[in-house]
Amino acid sequence: MRERSEMHQISKEEVEKVADLARLDLTEEEKSVFGSQLSHILAYVDQLQSVSTEGIPLTSTVAESQSEWREDIVLPGLTVEQALANAPESDEGLFVVPKILGK
Amino acid sequence: MSLFKLTLKELQEKFTRGEISATEIARAFLLRLNQVESKIKAYVTLRDKDALLVQAKSIDQSLQGWRKTQPLMAMPLAIKDNICTKGLRTTCSSRILEDFEPPYDATVMARLNLHQPLILGKTNLDEFAMGSSTEHSAFGPSRNPWNPKFIPGGSSGGSAAAVAADECVAALGSDTGGSIRQPAACCGVVGFKPTYGRVSRYGLVAFASSLDQIGPITKTVTDAAILLNFIAGHDPLDSTSSRKETPDFTKSLKKKDVKRLVIGIPREYFADGLDPEVSETVQDAIQTLKELGGSIQEVSLPFTQQAIATYYLIATAEASSNLARFDGVRYGMRAKETKSLAEMYRLSRSQGFGPEVKRRIMLGTYALSAGYYDAYYAKAQAVRTLIQRDFASVFETVDLLVSPVMPTPAFLLGARLEDPLQMYLSDVYTIPSSLAGIPAISVPCGFSTMGLPIGLQIMGRPFDEPTVLRAAHAYEQATTWHTRRPVIRS
């Protein structure tokens, strides 16, 4: 394990902000446990800050190519029934969700 | 000899010669599952028994008169439960997908199914493949067949345990940072992560798309080559799958030596933290490779110690984005009685995901959030380049790299559950090659004094699976570790 000298303590507010961005509702206990575990993990990953990466290109993938062209033709896909088969709620060929706009 | 003890190659030969029927194979494995599955818990979902027997019977009937078999016909396989199987529940060992029945097959399944294998079921994993022990499965951990008090490894622990316990003849797993190789090592079987791009990821539920790769978990290196032959190759449905020609991987098994191969031993993989017993066992294996004609050379991969930090930023960042799709709208669990769409998203995700998945989504979201993106995510991507250059540079002088798979043998169930970082550290030797996208195999190379298996990792150049398989096979044939099977007490 690396030194935890530059320990980045994540505050409860930060945990709440990140949970909100990730669309997660955390219990008070989860906030506290995740806060301390994330601080611990971030202290560990902080070791990367000591690596000089000036001028080093970023690797987002090791794949040979990312963009592929194909003919613009219709290929078989899922039927509406298949696409809706796993939906928690559907009606008349559509996904049903709770109300989006306010009352 | 009991049918369930055979290797894929042996079972194929017996079936092709007409010595056994598909029905006999199905019955033998159903019996085996009945005897040991309650102790191993390798599977999340078993195929319906009657459906399996009907399929076997139909195979037998189709062969009457003119016995024209196909290579995988009637072979009983197990599939990791993050690979979509049409009409067969695919849960990723998560509550959020507990009732999900894919309307389509992953490309690897479509390719296997052309040859009519008997799919026995879907194997357990750490939820969404996030973990190293299967303890993060929402349906409970699988057990190590060598000792049920120990982890089978993860995340493909169910597949590795199923192969080791003779609950299938071969299996598919997926590897993001070691999830094929580490459980294979823990369970004393062969696990092969091919080069990134060698096998289509279409239908593999995404965890970290730039790292995920499907591969075989088998009893022998030969079986791994056989299975890889069926799943490898370009797929128009996965633009990251390679257009390189797919060789016949079984051809690389002809030479039973490693003559004229330079084998690099990365010194950083034998540093602090390596269990002395594992170290000694791997050193013995290196000696065997030397006796088989390999030229052994110590090398250095200086950025090895940054690999875990790099991985846990990149993999969690990608996961936080990939798992955003689980929103309770199109598939998966939806929280009941919610008042608004936003609340429905939050509650469905909070109720559906387990703690490790939430933790990683949080870490990934943090690393990608405004103000931290450059310091964490971009930094990790730059260090990934350095790690990749480490490998490219040593592969100018060596043909293969050899190391342990894991710093210790399998640990006790529960031992690292409360300390996520300790759990992450068990992937220290498998993560660098994942970041570089190179092929790497785990082969059994001995046992600890506790009687737990130890694995040897052999890594190769991108798309040089043939040389990796050749060395792994030569080593396997020169030793007897792969012939040992656990005794599962009733």
Per-residue confidence (pLDDT) for residue A3, from 0 to 100: 40
Residue range(s) occupied by CATH 3.90.1300.10 in chain B: 3-302+389-483
Largest CA distance in chain B: 71
- Given the cut 0.90, state whether the ipTM is greater than it: yes
Q: What is the mean pLDDT of residues A76-88?
A: 95
Of the pLDDT bands very low, low, confident and very high (cuts 50, 70, 90), residue A1 is very low
**What is the rounded distance in angstroms from the CA atom of residue A49 to the CA atom of residue A24?**
29
pLDDT at B488 over 60: yes
Please write the tens of the pLDDT for every residue from B100-131: 999 999 999 999 999 999 999 999 999 999 99
CB atoms B366 and A85 under 8 Å: no
| pTM for the model | 0.97
**Confidence band for B418, pLDDT divided at 50, 70 and 90:** confident
Catalytic residue among B93, B132, B137, B155: B155
B340:A98 CB<8 A: yes
Transcribe B417-468 into DSSP letters.
Answer: TT-HHHHHHTTTTTHHHHHHT--EEEEEEEE-TTS-EEEEEEEESTT-HHHH
Question: Please, which residues have CB within 8 angstroms of residue B60's CB and are 6 or more apart in sequence?
Answer: B21, B22, B23
Quick: pLDDT tens for B259-280: 999 999 999 999 988 999 999 9
Strand, coil or helix: what is B218? strand
Average pLDDT over residues B436-461: 98
Percent of chain A with pLDDT over 90: 74
Q: What is the dihedral of CA B306, B308, B312, B315, to 10 degrees?
A: 100
In chain A, residues 20-39 whose CB comes closer than 8 Å to chain B: 21-26, 30, 34, 37-38
The 10s digit of each residue's pLDDT in B372-402 is 999 999 999 999 999 999 999 999 999 999 9
pLDDT tens per residue, range B195-252: 999 999 999 999 999 999 999 999 999 999 999 999 999 999 999 999 999 999 999 9
**Check: CATH 2.40.37.10 for A1-51?**
no
Spatial separation of the C-alpha atoms in residues B274 and B408, rounded to whole Å: 7
CB contacts < 8 A, A to B, total 175
Output the pLDDT for position A4. Answer: 41
Predicted confidence at residue B489, as pLDDT, reads 80
From chain A, the residues in CB contact with B331 under 8 A are 86-88
Mean pLDDT of chain B: 96
SS3 (DSSP) at B412: strand
Residue A89 to residue B334, Cβ atoms within 8 A: yes
B155 classed as catalytic: yes
Task: Identify which of A24, A30, A60 has the shortest CB distance to residue B346.
Answer: A24
Look at chain B and count its residues: 490
Which is the catalytic residue, given B80, B122, B193, B219?
A: B80
Average pLDDT value for residue range B75-87:
98
Residues of A in contact with B343 (CB under 8 A): 98
Q: What pLDDT does residue B32 have?
A: 97
> Catalytic: B200?
no
> Can you give B95-128 as a three-state secondary structure string?
HHHCCCCCCCCCHHHHHHHCCCCEEEEEECCCHH
Decide which of A10 and B179 is more confident.
Answer: B179
The residue ranges of every structural domain in chain A are: 1-51
- HEC profile of A63-80: CCCCCCCCCCCCCCCCCH
Give the CATH fold of the B3-302+389-483 domain: Amidase signature (AS) enzymes (3.90.1300)
